[in-house]
Amino acid sequence: MAEHEYYEVNGRQIRVRPTESGQEIDEYGNFHRQPNHFTKGFGEGENPVEADRYILFWGKGCNWSNRASIARELLGLDKVIKVEIVDWGDYEKPLGWEFVNPPNHINKETGAQFLSELYYNADDDYEGRTTVPALVDYKEKKVVNNDYHHLTNHFETAFKPFHKKGAPDLYPEELREEIDKLNVWLFENVNNAVYRAQFAESLQAFKDGYETFFAGLEAMDKRLENQRFLFGDYITDSDIRLYTTLARFDYSYSRNIGPCVHRLVDYKNLWPYARDLYQIPAFRHNTYFKDFAASEDLTHAPEDYWENVYYDIVVQETDWDTIWSQPTGREALSKDPAHKWKAENRFKKQEEEPMEAIRVTDKEWEIAGVHYVRTEAMCNGFGVSLEMEFGEDKAGDEYILVLDGIHPVSTCRLHQLDENTGKIERVATLKKYRGQHYGAAAITAAEEWFAERGVKKIFINSRTEAVGFYEKLGYVADPKQITGTGAFQCIMTEKQL
């Protein structure tokens, strides 16, 4: 058994972490990334597929773990798989990822302070670097999967029973073989190529990684010239993998590999493509430009630290969200410009009739569907007058219409208050369809439409008896904002996207 060096922290003996240069560089100076050690999947005969069992640990700067954090949120697994961001502490020895955010740096689910403790709980003989992503079984207090090659695929397949309604189909069966092939290519030519340049210990090794990386970017820029995403009209697992490299390019990788052939912003297609993805909330919420760039926390930097003007000052004081939220125009490349993903067909009645939420255009039948639902649900159902229900309507109003097969059953109206705030109004569902997720489908579709425009907060004025429905969708009621009386006493609710 190999001898290990330990370092004491708060009475704990923490094993010193190996380095890339120590065991992943060959005689010619080439970097060979270590293989993943915990690769067991999920399902029958493997790790159990359960809610309230796992926690995903990831690091803001880590491309590999960022994939899993984005996929987790996109699929709606935030209610099933917990998450915690880790970072490195300031010690004399490299101790690896630490739980720096909770009190006393102790993860409450496992009682550990360092991720390595959970690695060695799983395999005390493990000799590699302790890396993220790490999916931990907190009931067993051990790492069960650190396979960044396939962890997102496990989220997309094994955990499908827990996906939110309307979750994107990131790994459609008819494309899986092609997605797998492209993912391997992306790893070799883009995702890992930049690290082969970054960790190279010879000129030739650097040259190989550098040239491979920029050739890979050129190939992807060309692929995206006539299609919105890597496989056409809708995002897939592959788009997440390319995005996490692109998001770090101008802020992090550029400082480590020297003068670049191009910056991200110089690519005709990659730059608007990356912004198109960023404007999806799950991407934006898991992208930390300032953390990608920061080389030192200037509030705690040593006196002799010489700050980098661009990375430590310019990047930190720039509003990157505004820059990345600028319109891209890439929807013009899609046959379905209103949608960035194809939703899993999970909105179903017991009879398996498909549910579909559409963004209403100027087609007469769509507008008629909206009016039919509102008239039946509100005028005939609640006795609201036609004048009260339709008196505030105006040309250009935007609606979601939910169809049960060919039948209109639910609707809502979008009202954008300002660039960051929206309001969902005139929510109506036919009585026989209530309690079957049709109203939730309308709200979710409206949220997605708002999110694509950069809206970050949404208000809904809910009847008091319906507040519980909106709370299940993540809305919070404000008891100070109550209007109306009787059956139409309403309370304002809000949700942060």
Residue showing tokens 């970072």:
87
Distance CA 115, CA 99 (A): 7
Exposure string over 71-87, b if 16+ CB within 10 A, otherwise e: bbbbbbbbebbbbbbbe
CA atoms within a 13 Å half-sphere pointing along the CA-CB vector of 380: 10
Residue showing tokens 């690290």:
195
379 in catalytic set: no
CA 235, 241, 245, 247 dihedral sign is positive
- What's the distance, CA 278 to chain centroid? 9
Two tokens at 12? Answer: 């704990």
- From the list 17, 68, 16, 20, the residue with the least C-alpha distance to 198 is 20
Distance CA 197, CA 64 (A): 17
Distance CA 78, CA 120 (A): 26
| DSSP secondary structure of 146-188 | --TTTHHHHHHHTTGGGPPTT-B-SS-GGGHHHHHHHHHHHII
Taking a C-beta distance cutoff of 8 angstroms, is the pair 465, 449 a contact?
A: no
Residue showing tokens 């692109």:
246
Cβ count near 106 (within 10 Å): 13
Q: φ and ψ at 240, to 5 degrees?
A: -60, -40
3-state DSSP call for residue 375? Answer: helix
Distance CA 130, CA 128 (A): 6
Torsion angle of alpha carbons 217, 220, 225, 228, nearest 10°?
A: -120
- From the list 423, 408, 437, the residue with the least C-alpha distance to 475 is 423
From 119, 148, 171, 195, active-site residue: 195
The amino acid at 438: Y
Distance CA 423, CA 450 (A): 9
432: which strand partners?
none
7: which strand partners?
14
195 in catalytic set: yes
From 54, 62, 278, 288, active-site residue: 62
Quote the radius of gyration of the chain (alpha carbons, Å). 25
- What's the distance, CA 279 to chain centroid? 11
Taking a C-beta distance cutoff of 8 angstroms, is the pair 420, 456 a contact?
A: yes
Distance CA 145, CA 480 (A): 46
Residue positions annotated with a catalytic role: 62, 195
